[in-house]
Amino acid sequence: MLEIVLKGGNIVGPKGTSKADVLVRDGVVSKIGPDLEGERVIECSGAWIGPGLVDPHAHLREPGQEWKEDIETGSRAAAAGGFTAVVAMPNTDPAIDAGHLARYVAERGSDVGLVDVMPAGAITLGRAGSHLSHLDELWAAGVRLFSDDGDSVADAGLLRLAMEYLSDLGGIVAQHAEDTTLTLGAHMHEGAVSARLGMRGMPALAEESILRRDLALVELTGVRYHAQHVSTVGGVRLIEEAKTKGLPVTAEATPHHLAFDHREIRRMDPAYKMYPPLRSTEDVEALRAALKSGVIDVVGTDHAPHAAAEKDVPFDDAPRGVIGLETAAAAVNDTVKLDPVLFFQRLSIASARLLGLDRHGCWPEAGSPANLVVFDPDAEWTPLRFASRSENSPFKGRAMKGRVMATIHNGVVSYEAS
């Protein structure tokens, strides 16, 4: 295997950064020290060298919607964004609700080989919300996180069963919290902007009412629970209360909810359409603070590719979702001023621990697995083209600060900025 030297970067560890070279050989960090040499040298001055990023929430669209993305293009996008492991959401066609489907996704991921692709499993059969999916099979196929993402599991009785079943196995119930009886026909946040535009709004309450119910069920069942894309002040407060009670709960925020509020929709550009929708400035502030404090544990991209023609329609008619893998690190760096230790905690380590990934989320040190990212927090760039098959990014054409310079996946360079 090729020897790689990461030259002159700031190596991030649990206590801060230190300047040294990193030698990568045979899939591990073999040496850290001054003046190291190797066959391939990557210049890293000014950049952080930390554990490769881990995304608990991406839509890679395969099988079934390959015109939007597939596991190969999604893996390229992940590598370009500094990720070494990605959880693929199960709202594919068919939904990942049985063992053979999960194995297919994982195998496609390892065939491509740019990033570890971990399939998430559907909680209910076909994500239809009426019957448990093949939870044992999914577990045996390596699935650790279960979600009907895109939809909430609305039926409390069924969710309770899933929670009881998965708490035996050790699985994580991840919920897209949206009470659809409150969001019918709505496409954006309910507030001043929706009122001006005459568009039906999705109230913050739609998220909070589901979270409130779910957290009571977590208390009853003891299952590990992960709140996906928390977007509201009230959602943050509920997570904080649950953690204070000692419930086994984690929460995620997306880069776009950290970066933008609903005023972006004044221009009615479908590039800003996603669920949950962009919220108020108060919500954005609460998310940023919660990511700093740790009430929000992790950043999840909710990378959701859609073809250009699908998005090139009026706002109401556009599919929901934005891509995020390639801009996540920059967006978080730009909008939430995290020190390098916290940055990697939130974007890598906490997700790796959540998902039980031993080979990811490890501080770079001699002997640690070589899943690494080189991220320059001061580099300025403007995303214009994407490795993803789709370009539905709200960050497209916006100047950003912080850039992934290189990604090392299992000791191999999976991405290097040109």
- The catalytic residues are 302
Kindly state the smallest distance separating residue 307's Cβ from another protein, in Å.
12
Q: Which is nearer to another protein, 220 or 313 (CB)?
A: 313
Q: At 153, list the tokens.
A: 């599991």
Nearer to another protein, 228 or 280 (CB): 280
Q: Which of 51, 56, 74, 191 contacts another protein by CB under 8 A?
A: 191
Query: In angstroms, what CA-CA distances link 138 with 73, 103, 184, 357?
Result: 24, 9, 32, 17
End-to-end C-alpha distance for the chain, whole angstroms? 23
Q: Binding to another protein by residue 231, rule CB under 8 A?
A: no
Residue 282 in contact with another protein, rule: CB under 8 A:
no
Query: Segment contacting another protein (CB under 8 A): 103-111, 188-196, 214-222, 287-295?
Result: 188-196
Asked if 62 and 101 count as a contact pair (C-beta separation under 8 A), the reply is no
Residue range at the interface with another protein (CB under 8 A); choices 19-27, 109-117, 125-133, 189-197: 189-197
Of 72-80, 106-114, 210-218, 306-314, the segment contacting another protein by CB under 8 A is 306-314
Q: Which of 155, 168, 285, 317 binds another protein (CB under 8 A)?
A: 317
User: By rule CB under 8 A, what count of residues binds another protein?
Assistant: 21
The least CB distance from residue 66 to another protein, in Å, is 20
In angstroms, give the least distance from the CB of 394 to another protein: 16
Q: Is 157 in the site for another protein (CB under 8 A)?
A: no
Q: Which residues between 284 and 303 bind another protein (CB under 8 A)?
A: none
- Which CB atom, from 40 or from 196, has the smaller least distance to another protein? 196
By CB under 8 A, name the one of 26, 39, 312, 339 that touches another protein.
312
**Nearer residue to another protein within complex by CB, 194 or 371:** 194
Q: Is 195 in the site for another protein (CB under 8 A)?
A: yes
Q: How far is the CB of 317 from another protein (least distance, A)?
A: 6
Q: To the nearest whole angstrom, how small is the minimum distance from the Cβ of residue 194 to another protein?
A: 7
Residues forming a β-bridge with 275: none
Q: Which of 147, 194, 371, 390 binds another protein (CB under 8 A)?
A: 194
SS (H, E, C) the chain: CCCEEEEEEEEEECCEEEEEEEEEECCEEEEEECCCCCCEEEECCCCEEEECEEEEEECCCCCCCCCCCCHHHHHHHHHHCCEEEEEECCCCCCCCCCHHHHHHHHHHHHHHCCCEEEECECCEHHHCCCCECCHHHHHHCCCCEECCCCCCCCCHHHHHHHHHHHHHHCCEEEECCCCCCCCCCCCEECCHHHHHHCCCEECCHHHHHHHHHHHHHHHHHCCEEEECCCCCHHHHHHHHHHHHCCCCEEEEECHHHHHCCHHHHHHCCHHHCCCCCCCCHHHHHHHHHHHHHCCCCEECCCECCCCHHHHCCCHHHCCCCECCCCCHHHHHHHHCCCCHHHHHHHHHHHHHHHHCCCCCCCCCCCCCECCEEEEEEEEEECCCCCCCCCCCCCCCCCCEEEEEEEEEECCEEEEECC
Q: Choose the binding region for another protein from 48-56, 115-123, 169-177, 305-313 (rule: CB under 8 A).
A: 305-313
Does residue 155 bind another protein (CB under 8 A)?
Answer: no
Q: Which of residues 74-93 bind another protein (CB under 8 A)?
A: none
Copy the structure tokens of residue 157: 């009785």
Closest CB to another protein among residues 26, 317: 317
Selected from 35, 244, 309, 418, the binder of another protein by CB under 8 A is: 309
Residue from 34, 157, 198, 246 in contact with another protein (CB under 8 A)? 198
Where does this chain bind another protein (CB under 8 A)? 185, 190-192, 194-199, 201, 203, 267-268, 309, 312-317
